[in-house]
Structure 1
Amino acid sequence: MLFAAGFGTRMGALTKDRPKPLIEVAGKPLLEHALDFTGEIPTRVVNAHYHADQIEAYAENRDLIVSTERPDILDTGGGLRHALPLLGDGPTFTLNTDAVWHGPNPLDLLKSAWNPDVMDALLLCVPLQNAIGRKGGGDFALSEDNQLIRKGDLVYTGAQITKTEGLQHIPDAVFSLNLLWNQMAENGRLHGLTYPGKWCDVGHPDGITLAKDMVRHV
């Protein structure tokens, strides 16, 4: 599941006439940077709302299914639940489309570390010092058994594997995945993995140049 429905308001004029995932960075759209990691995954779904027609046009001939959210945008949790009929059953990768990576394939790392016997979700995080363009502090810390604890110097990268059954028990139509994670954390089943490379937040205009420099020099 690729998240591409947001308004991209932090991008200012750059997203006036196009969705943020179609902004080009280092020679290709942000959405394509994300797609490059998904080659072995049989079912790939992207959600769309803002300038959805452009996402739909981009998805044509790319073996990419579009989950269009109308009339309202559904946030990450609601958007994932809306896409479940397209994704099918079982644990699902989710990946944000507003970042550029330098290092190993994040989805491969998650797949290798995934243990459904003890995990309901596995979130890929990067140390704050390797989160290029990050504005603000971290999101999580890791316990000794790799469970995630709120607040710390690890930044969530937007890549995870998650079970989706818990989405059906959230009454809201529009909600963040944080609600699902909170439930998992209460049960001791929200786990984290540290990314060994660098990651650049391209949710704001400065991130475009920072991502180009990261790819060029790291």
Structure 2
Amino acid sequence: MNELLDIVIRATVAYMLLLLLTRVMGRKQISQLTFFDFVSGIAIGSIAASTFFNPAMPTYLGVAALVVWTGWVLATAKLTLVSLPARKLVEAEPLMVIHKGRILEEKLTDRHYNVNDLLKQLREKSIFDPGQVEVGIIETDGKLSVLKKSQFQTVTAGDLGAAGPPAASGGLVGKEIIINGEILDDNLAAAGLTRAMLADYLRANGIEDAAAVELLLVNPQGQYYLDLKKDGAAGKGR
């Protein structure tokens, strides 16, 4: 009877503690989890199981282990919010693996992908010919994002009513130019822009310092999306 009561108490404590810790860490959809998020979740579950269902393990040591682990997870999440290099280290970066219909095999190797994996994800998007793809990018969660070549894209009402061709953007899918106030020079060059052109655009929008920008990107139509670190300044432009 005492053993049964002990298990009930341990299970209840484990349930309440895990509920609290997962609430503190925040919620993400399964599809949004990075590999680090996934491994952290498994580790927390393993620590809880080892602690609360092993009578030889003092409960307070397990609670301490869970709190310390969760603290490190929260600290890492906070660091990735404020530091772009830390974000790249923990979450990696989106990686282009198809460009103008050509598969970039060396890039696939960087993500431990093979051609079969790539073709499978293309088929899931109803694309059976990589030659139809302008740009294919593996996101940080392993999913493939695709921009079809213009001749294979579905025509929309907006396309039929367009006054003229879109502005050039280097022929690439949307490029992040500034993230967290940091100018990404490689993306800037890929979008066909220079720092002087960027400075002119920012000044035209009343911005003197790129550090004030949370996100600036140029989309495939050559339009800019601008969002400042202070709310109330976001939108699109040419």
What's the TM-score bracket when you normalise by the shorter of the two chains? under 0.3
Normalization by structure 1: what TM-score?
A: 0.25
Normalization by structure 2: what TM-score?
A: 0.23
Larger strand fraction of residues: 1
Bigger radius of gyration among the two? 2
Larger helix fraction of residues: 2
**Highest RCO, 1 vs 2 (Cα 8 Å, sep ≥ 6):** 1
